Amino acid sequence: MMEGYGIRRATTDDIPLIREMADVVFPHTYREILSPLQLTYMMEWMYSPESLLKQMEEEGHVYFIAEDADGMPCGYVSVQRQGDALFHLQKIYVLPPWQGKHCGSFLFREAVDYIRRVHPAPCLMELNVNRNNKALLFYERMGMRKLREGDFPIGNGYYMCDYIMGLEINSCE
């Protein structure tokens, strides 16, 4: 355990817990960026039990759950392999009481460590971040850089207006 946090790989049994955390952190993160209707749409699109099950069982998303020193779940991260030397940090969220307490950097480093374990050769980790998300500064502090930007249709007439950021991951750092 590092920085007072522990980490464990999530299983499909954790789908209700991931959804419960998302119900809190997702609207908290995007309430000033997205409309309530888009928030509701995206929650079902990304966090319905069916969507989470498909992500884990068919799409190769690997989820990890962070817990504080008392065993309380405080955040989650998911990583998906997208190519021979390309991984995507799909989700990284910290519940509000633990924000600003290094849980995000702990989760980020755990994602990088996981990628190094499954892919010891140099590779790239990318992530999409909303162009108006204050977490952009966090990702830059973690060593990521903007690679490109785009507006990605997600259905129902909604778009994700994101920067795609990248981090070169070497076998040992």
Q: What is the pLDDT of residues 11-21, one digit of tens each?
A: 999 999 999 99
pLDDT at 2: 47
DSSP 156: T
**Mean pLDDT, residues 70-82:** 97
Measured distance CA(82)–CA(165) in Å, rounded: 15
Q: Give the pTM.
A: 0.93
Counting residues of the chain whose pLDDT is more than 90, the rounded percentage is: 94
Fold of 5-169: Aminopeptidase (3.40.630)
Classified as helix, coil or strand, 147 is strand
Using CA atoms, how far apart are residues 134 and 145, in angstroms rounded to an integer?
15
For 41-82, the DSSP string reads HHHHHHHSHHHHHHHHHTS-EEEEEEEETTS-EEEEEEEEEE
